[in-house]
């Protein structure tokens, strides 16, 4: 027939997508700010990021409630059902990435205002790649772009390589001077958070592929 029969439901699905993208933007912003605050040992921003994670968590619950409402009231089928199922997963992944930003905020408070063990080079680079990956994944989700969803996870290798580099450097420092264990650990945690954030972007890409094709696939990054 070629005409839209369920315009209000379609509108609601679009709103759900938009809300998910907005949650994603909040998370990207938080992650970028967390690494910037780490670079400058900015305690005030760190405390704000910890506080603002509550807003991210709240938005995620709202999206989840919207998904449940649409499932209960609109009987979504096929692609619509997969989209809602994917949003449930993606919003959870986003919320967890938000937790990593909050985690870096806590690490900043633990480190305090003292000078960092080493200049931050690899960690900001990890953040840059992870947040670029996430932004591209959000675009792929909006455009249901299968090709992008398949290629974005390849960049996780770069993040992993940087994490391994940070890990090696910090372990070498600890071996040289064991009194640096705590301060090394803090930076390692921060790097680990970013490594995990990129992994979760990969999960998001898997969900985009599921939305478009209905196939459950898992990227093996090894």
Residues binding another protein (CB under 8 A): 1, 5-9, 68-69, 72-75
Alpha helices (runs of H) in 41-77, residue ranges in sequence order: 43-74
Choose between 8 and 179: whose C-beta lies nearer to another protein.
Answer: 8
Nearest distance in Å: CB 148, another protein: 33
Within 13 Å and on the Cβ side, how many CA atoms surround 55?
A: 14
**Alpha carbons 47 and 104: distance in angstroms, whole number:** 10
Nearest distance in Å: CB 54, another protein: 23
Nearest distance in Å: CB 59, another protein: 18
> What angle is formed at CA 154 by the lines to CA 168 and CA 98, rounded to 5 degrees?
75
**Alpha carbons 107 and 102: distance in angstroms, whole number:** 9
Nearest distance in Å: CB 103, another protein: 32
Phi, psi of 116 (to 5 degrees): -70, 155
Choose between 8 and 222: whose C-beta lies nearer to another protein.
Answer: 8
Nearest distance in Å: CB 222, another protein: 41
Choose between 12 and 195: whose C-beta lies nearer to another protein.
Answer: 12
Choose between 29 and 74: whose C-beta lies nearer to another protein.
Answer: 74
Residue 177 DSSP class: -
b/e per residue 25-54 (b: at least 16 CB within 10 A): ebbbbbbbbbbebbeebbeebbeebbebbe
**Alpha carbons 129 and 194: distance in angstroms, whole number:** 9
Residue bearing tokens 């700010």: 33
Cβ-Cβ contacts under 8 Å for 216 (sequence gap 6 or more):
206, 210
**Alpha carbons 181 and 162: distance in angstroms, whole number:** 20
Choose between 18 and 75: whose C-beta lies nearer to another protein.
Answer: 75
Choose between 72 and 175: whose C-beta lies nearer to another protein.
Answer: 72
Nearest distance in Å: CB 3, another protein: 9
């Amino acid at each position: 027939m070629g005409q839209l029969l369920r315009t209000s439901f379609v509108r609601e699905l679009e709103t759900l997508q938009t809300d998910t993208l907005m949650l994603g933007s909040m998370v990207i912003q938080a992650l970028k700010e967390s690494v910037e605050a780490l670079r400058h040992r900015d305690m005030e921003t760190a405390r704000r990021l910890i506080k603002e994670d509550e807003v991210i968590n709240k938005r995620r619950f709202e999206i989840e409630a919207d998904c449940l409402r649409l499932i209960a009231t609109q009987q979504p089928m096929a692609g619509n059902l997969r989209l809602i199922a994917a949003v449930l997963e993606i919003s959870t992944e986003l919320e967890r990435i938000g937790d990593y930003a909050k985690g870096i905020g806590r690490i900043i408070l633990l480190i305090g205002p003292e000078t960092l063990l080493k200049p931050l080079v690899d960690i900001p680079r990890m953040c840059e790649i992870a947040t670029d990956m996430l932004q591209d994944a959000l675009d792929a989700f909006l455009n249901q772009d299968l090709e992008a969803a398949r290629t974005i996870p390849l960049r996780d290798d770069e993040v992993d390589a940087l994490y391994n580099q940070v890990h090696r450097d910090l372990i070498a420092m600890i071996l040289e001077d064991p009194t640096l264990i705590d301060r090394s650990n803090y930076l390692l945690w921060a790097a680990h958070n970013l490594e995990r954030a990129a992994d979760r972007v990969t999960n998001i890409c898997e969900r985009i592929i599921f939305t478009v094709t209905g196939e459950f696939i898992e990227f093996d990054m090894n």
